[in-house]
């Protein structure tokens, strides 16, 4: 009969835990809601409304909001992806050309939002172009 050492058991448990599927955001409708104040300050809300999934009451699929998984950098799994997604959205839309400050996040089981402020003031072109919400998908 083979004897298992504590080190081997630890190694096996680490391998078993690290082989899970990568986190993926649930299907959602996303939008960017620009808000330009009279003084030129540019705010925004990135809104992600999760699409309804038919499931039994109390069932929470892996990767849904509220899960407690964490990545190697200490952020809750999915938070880093949101930061990358916001940066990409700003590059594509041209709304915050010089970056942005995140003011707060709000997450429920049905939606997720990030409110932020752009690092630059609005131009006349910004005021003309960004008058309504932008559907992102």
Instruction: List pLDDT tens digits, range 69-96.
Output: 444 444 344 566 788 889 999 999 999 9
Is residue 112, in this structure, part of any structural domain at all? yes
Is residue 23, in this structure, part of any structural domain at all? no
Is residue 18, in this structure, part of any structural domain at all? no
Q: Percent helix, strand and coil across the chain, each rounded to 5?
A: 25, 30, 45
pTM: 0.65
pLDDT at residue 102 greater than cutoff 60: yes
pLDDT of residue 134: 96
Place of tokens 């429920």: 108
Of 28, 27, 66, 49, nearest to 110 by C-alpha is 49
Instruction: List pLDDT tens digits, range 23-50.
Output: 566 788 999 999 999 999 999 999 989 8
Q: Within a 10 A sphere around the Cβ of 130, how many other Cβ atoms?
A: 20
pLDDT of residue 52: 73
Q: State the total domains in the chain.
A: 1
What's the domain range around 42?
A: 28-135
Place of tokens 């699409």: 51
Is residue 70, in this structure, part of any structural domain at all? yes
Is residue 1, in this structure, part of any structural domain at all? no
Beta bridge mates, 42: 36
User: Could you give the CA distance from residue 102 to residue 85 in angstroms, rounded to a whole number?
Assistant: 13
Percent of all residues in the chain with a pLDDT value above 70, rounded to a whole number? 61
Is residue 83, in this structure, part of any structural domain at all? yes
Is residue 117, in this structure, part of any structural domain at all? yes
């Amino acid at each position: 009969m083979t004897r298992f050492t504590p080190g081997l058991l630890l190694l096996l448990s680490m391998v078993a835990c690290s082989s899970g599927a990568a986190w993926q955001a649930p299907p959602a409708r996303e939008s960017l809601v620009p808000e330009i104040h009279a003084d030129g300050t540019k705010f925004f809300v990135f809104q992600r409304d999760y699409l309804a999934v038919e499931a039994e009451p109390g069932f929470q699929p892996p990767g849904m909001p509220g899960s407690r998984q964490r990545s190697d950098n200490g952020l809750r799994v999915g938070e880093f992806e949101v930061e990358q997604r916001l940066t990409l959205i700003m590059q594509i839309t041209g709304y915050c050309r010089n970056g942005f400050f995140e003011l707060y996040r709000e997450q429920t089981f049905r939606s997720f939002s990030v409110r932020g402020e752009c690092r630059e003031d609005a131009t006349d072109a910004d005021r003309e172009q960004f008058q309504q919400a932008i559907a992102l998908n």
